[in-house]
Amino acid sequence: MEKENLMNAVVADVTARRKGGRKTGGFTLRDVAKLAGVAPITASRALNTPDAVSAKVLQKVQAAVAQTGYVPNLLAGALASQKSRLVAAVVPTLSGPMFLETVEALTDTLAGAGYQVMLGQSGYENSREDALLDAIIGRRPDGIVLTGITRSPQARRRLLASGIPVVETWDLTPTPVDMLVGFSHEKIGAAVAQYLHAKGKKRVAAISGDDERSRRRATAFSEAAVRLGMALPQETDIPACLVTAPTTLGNGRSGLRELLQRAPDIDAVFCSSDLLALGLMIEAQASGIAIPRQLAVIGLGDLSFSRDLQPPLTTVRIDGTAIGSTAARFIIARSEGKSVAEPICDLGFTIIERASV
């Protein structure tokens, strides 16, 4: 009965604060301490450094927290310790599965060290990413993980000035803002062209997203294909169809129709995502085009459905899990004041050979 009365009194105090229009209209540390029968400083120790209090006191405070549903104010703790235990991750899109492996590995690895991930979507425009980065930097996370290389001079200056550890991912440059985990898009394009040439392909084409990274892959693919003789003698580049990023299955279908109207004799297509490749394969089947006998196709991403297609899709595998876990380890080390011996990590890529080529 005494505990019930005490809880009723605490609830009455909270209700009065809410009616008075105060911002602290929820349960506070002081309320938890009152309900547990300890001083506020003791309740704080029990929550932040449980080893510093007795088991009996810890049990009382935990019971009070459970009764009230109290969540500690992490912002106040961050101001005192200069650590937020938050890491901001920025991806261009949440609508597709391309970056899912990286986000999951990043989140899991950081969680193991006591950090939480705050996820932001930047789109594919630099101006939108700049605004998002301003908002993130203003909240002073313990680290920032970006997808791609920061190309905006303004964003680069602000990231450098903030002093926050930054990892750029899914790309490669000798001059990152801070640290980098990724691979070369240009090397992927060239390697795919060499692979198709070795398979005896004579005239190749591409369907690519219009984002900057996909464009660089497609350009490198086209240049290598021309050098290897997989274009008509008078052509300085290969037939290509650019579609709006993020790419969709429908883009793959319409992209193949466009390519066949312009160059009906193509015998292989490099798609900038597995989703585009899936759309192309559906359109090919609807049009009576046999894959790979009449038209070979290669995607990028090695998404979960790729091996289960008929025929299974040949694709470029990016180790998103390794990218995420490595980026997390870089952030953890720097946040703890340790140096990173090799701040630029090129994880490369693998062409997964299946039956679509």
Most distant pair of Cα atoms in the chain: their distance: 92
The DSSP 8-state label assigned to residue 231 in this structure reads: S
Q: Which residues of the chain have pLDDT under 70?
A: 1-25, 72-82, 125-127
**240-243 sheet: strands from edge to edge:** 240-243, 204-209, 268-271, 296-300, 314-317, 350-352
Q: What is the dihedral of CA 199, 204, 210, 212, to 10 degrees?
A: 50
CA–CA gap between residue 201 and residue 1 (Å, rounded): 84
Is the separation of the CB atoms in 333 and 340 below 8 Å?
Answer: yes
What is the structure's pLDDT at 329?
98
